[in-house]
């Protein structure tokens, strides 16, 4: 496929004239260095703070940590965000962006864990298994090690929700790490490896789909959210997302067996990756139809889709089955929702509905309505999510009105929309969840309507950057009074938009693969 035409809008021309990319590259680098340095007093320290570390001007607090360094951390991240936005339309290459991402995020490799304490629980769960206790059947509180004291209370009494590949990696790290800081560094390097794969896969996929690889890297890799949560927080989601994007890159090369195995490995880190597999099957069906000697109308039908789906299931299912059997861990990881733990924040739409019910119940003297309302809202949301995922997949099977029926960007965008549905309707939303779908959107935008999503996606990524304090406390826990009404308004707008879209859809021909789901606007 030919290189996509460069973006030459008036905005780009102005940016090229009034933005010096080198200056903003170094502004972002300074932000990364300062954030890494400040983390040693404001990040998630090995000994948990006894209270919330709010930004302030005091050097220290009896509760632990430095409010002043917390303020410095917020300002350093702000510098990164401003530099990122200023470089949005900069006339630079993908290689330039690779260097810039390295300069911005490399300092965070030596930072204390930022915006989350999950890194400590990763190390503790790996050591738990190294001591002969399955992390699915035992909890960190049973761990015979000082590492236990650094684990967040949420995970002290909760079994792990992660897959066998991640636990193998965590166990290997724990077995060679005599000290906790060594384990933290090695686990962070695994997350960095995921970011490296993203940096390769994002421009590669975008180029193959006809979108600007530079803009894709800007949105999907260089966003400060990646530095904050995939490098600073070292979340294993980095490996999961890297597996999805790496699998897509392989699928677009026609290497579908390997693509399915790679995505399956990602699912054995975090099961969310399985959402990508049905869309990989669509790509496989398109590929088979393109290589067929029959006409497209004959080659690309339900028979081909079923064959591609069966092959995808086989190629991904076998390694996942072997992962559960050979490790002796079984398949509890396939149902992470069964992991107990209480995380109630309005940033999850279903949870915000339950909180609203609880507020009404409180006024009427029925405080018990809160828990039952949250449970009911989450249950309804899961049913709605299941239906939405089916509709999104069917829409990705069909062509868009007035577009090339063999447009491979459509099933890739289908993964992004499916991930977005999961994020919106999940019982819990945490900042790094937004990175499940942001890189997938980044590679599959185009010069039409989809391209208009770039700014809104980037704006949300910016807001999410500041939704958590440096030491890991989520502001969603203290902004309920404002957040719940806001979430309800967002829900109403989403339902209204969904209803309008549903009314336009051609439901009578939903299973006709040659007819678009939506007519031309």
Is the model's pLDDT at 16 over the cut of 70? no
More confident residue, 289 or 451: 289
If you average pLDDT over residues 486-510, what whole number do you get?
Answer: 91
Mean pLDDT across the chain: 90
Distance (Å, whole) CA 77 – CA 29: 11
- Report which secondary-structure segment, H or E, holds 276: none
Distance (Å, whole) CA 451 – CA 362: 45
Is the model's pLDDT at 192 over the cut of 80? yes
Structure tokens, 486:
């806001």
Q: How many residues does the chain have?
A: 521
Nearest residue to 473 (alpha-carbon basis) of 2, 162, 70, 24: 70
Cβ atoms < 10 Å from Cβ of 96: 17
**Chain centroid to CA 405: how far?**
29
Task: Report CA-CA distances (Å) from 336 to 264, 359, 439.
Answer: 16, 29, 23
If you average pLDDT over residues 459-483, what whole number do you get?
Answer: 93
Alpha-carbon torsion, ordered 17, 34, 72, 468, to 10 deg: 90
Nearest residue to 518 (alpha-carbon basis) of 394, 384, 425: 394
Distance (Å, whole) CA 269 – CA 280: 19
pLDDT of residue 116: 94
Structure tokens, 189:
């390097």
pLDDT of residue 75: 97
pLDDT digits (tens, 9 = 90+) for 107-154: 999 999 999 999 999 999 999 999 999 999 999 999 989 999 999 888
Structure tokens, 307:
């064959």
pLDDT digits (tens, 9 = 90+) for 425-437: 999 999 999 999 9
Nearest residue to 437 (alpha-carbon basis) of 409, 412, 462: 412
Alpha helices in 132-255 (DSSP H): 153-156, 164-176, 180-209, 213-220, 224-225, 237-251
Lowest mean pLDDT among 6-10, 105-109, 255-259, 306-310: 6-10
Distance (Å, whole) CA 416 – CA 211: 15
Task: Confirm if 129 and 235 have CB atoms less than 8 A apart.
Answer: no
User: By three-state DSSP, how is residue 474 classified?
Assistant: strand
Distance (Å, whole) CA 51 – CA 132: 34
Distance (Å, whole) CA 69 – CA 59: 7
Is the model's pLDDT at 340 over the cut of 80? no
Distance (Å, whole) CA 44 – CA 235: 13
Structure tokens, 416:
């992004």
If you average pLDDT over residues 347-364, what whole number do you get?
Answer: 92
Point out which residues pair with 468 in neighbouring strands: 474
First to last CA, the chain: 28
pLDDT of residue 153: 85
Residue 333 binned pLDDT confidence (cut-offs 50, 70, 90): confident
User: By three-state DSSP, how is residue 66 classified?
Assistant: coil
- The structure's pTM equals 0.92
Task: Report CA-CA distances (Å) from 501 to 347, 476, 496.
Answer: 25, 30, 9
Cα–Cα–Cα angle for 438, 515, 216, nearest 5°?
Answer: 20
Structure tokens, 235:
């979340």
Is the model's pLDDT at 484 over the cut of 60? yes
Task: Confirm if 268 and 166 have CB atoms less than 8 A apart.
Answer: yes
Structure tokens, 308:
């591609």
Structure tokens, 516:
């678009």
pLDDT of residue 15: 40
If you average pLDDT over residues 321-330, what whole number do you get?
Answer: 90
Is the model's pLDDT at 12 over the cut of 90? no
Cα–Cα–Cα angle for 235, 76, 69, nearest 5°?
Answer: 90
pLDDT of residue 381: 94
pLDDT of residue 3: 43
């Amino acid at each position: 496929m030919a290189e996509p035409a460069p973006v030459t809008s008036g905005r780009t021309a102005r940016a090229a004239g009034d933005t010096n990319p080198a200056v903003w590259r170094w502004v972002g680098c300074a932000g990364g260095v300062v954030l890494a340095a400040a983390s040693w007093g404001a990040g998630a320290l090995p000994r948990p703070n006894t209270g919330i570390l709010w930004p302030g001007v005091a050097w220290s607090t009896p509760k632990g940590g430095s409010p002043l360094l917390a303020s410095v951390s917020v300002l350093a991240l702000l510098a990164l965000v401003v530099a990122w936005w200023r470089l949005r339309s900069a006339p630079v290459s993908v290689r330039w962006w690779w260097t810039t991402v390295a300069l911005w995020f490399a300092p965070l490799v030596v930072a204390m864990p930022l915006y989350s304490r999950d890194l400590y629980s990763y190390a503790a769960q790996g050591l738990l298994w190294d001591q002969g206790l399955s992390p699915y059947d035992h909890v960190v509180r049973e761990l015979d090690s000082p590492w236990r004291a650094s684990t967040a209370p949420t995970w002290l009494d909760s079994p792990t929700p992660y897959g066998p590949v991640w636990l193998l990696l965590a166990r290997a790290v724990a077995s060679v790490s005599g000290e906790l800081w060594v384990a933290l560094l090695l686990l962070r390097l695994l997350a960095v490896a995921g970011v490296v794969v993203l940096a390769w896969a994002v421009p590669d996929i975008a180029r193959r789909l006809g979108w600007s690889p530079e803009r894709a890297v800007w949105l999907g890799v260089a966003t400060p959210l990646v530095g904050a949560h995939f490098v600073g927080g070292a979340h294993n989601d980095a490996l999961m997302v890297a597996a999805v994007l790496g699998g897509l890159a392989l699928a677009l090369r026609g290497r579908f067996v390997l693509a399915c195995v790679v995505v399956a490995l990602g699912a054995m880190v975090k099961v969310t990756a399985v959402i990508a597999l049905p869309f990989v099957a669509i790509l496989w069906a398109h590929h088979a139809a393109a290589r067929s000697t029959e006409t497209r109308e004959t080659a690309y039908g339900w028979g081909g889709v079923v064959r591609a789906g069966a092959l995808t299931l086989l190629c991904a299912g076998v390694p996942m089955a072997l992962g559960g059997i050979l490790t002796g861990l079984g398949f509890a990881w396939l149902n992470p929702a069964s992991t107990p733990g209480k995380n109630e924040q309005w940033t999850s739409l279903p949870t915000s509905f339950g909180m609203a019910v609880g507020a009404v119940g409180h006024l009427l003297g029925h405080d018990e309505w809160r828990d039952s309302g949250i449970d009911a809202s989450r249950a309804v949301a899961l049913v709605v999510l299941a239906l939405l995922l089916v509709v999104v997949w069917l829409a990705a099977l069909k062509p868009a009105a007035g577009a090339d029926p063999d447009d491979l960007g459509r099933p890739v965008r289908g993964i992004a929309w499916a991930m977005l549905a999961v994020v919106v309707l999940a019982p819990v939303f945490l900042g790094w969840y937004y990175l499940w779908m942001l890189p997938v959107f980044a590679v599959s935008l185009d010069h039409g309507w989809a391209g208009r999503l770039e700014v809104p996606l980037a704006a949300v990524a910016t807001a999410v950057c500041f939704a958590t304090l440096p030491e890991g406390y989520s502001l969603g826990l203290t902004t309920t009074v404002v957040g719940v009404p806001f979430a309800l308004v967002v829900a109403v707008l989403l339902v209204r938009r969904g209803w309008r879209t549903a009314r336009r859809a051609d439901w009578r021909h939903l299973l006709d693969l040659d007819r678009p789901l939506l007519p031309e606007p």
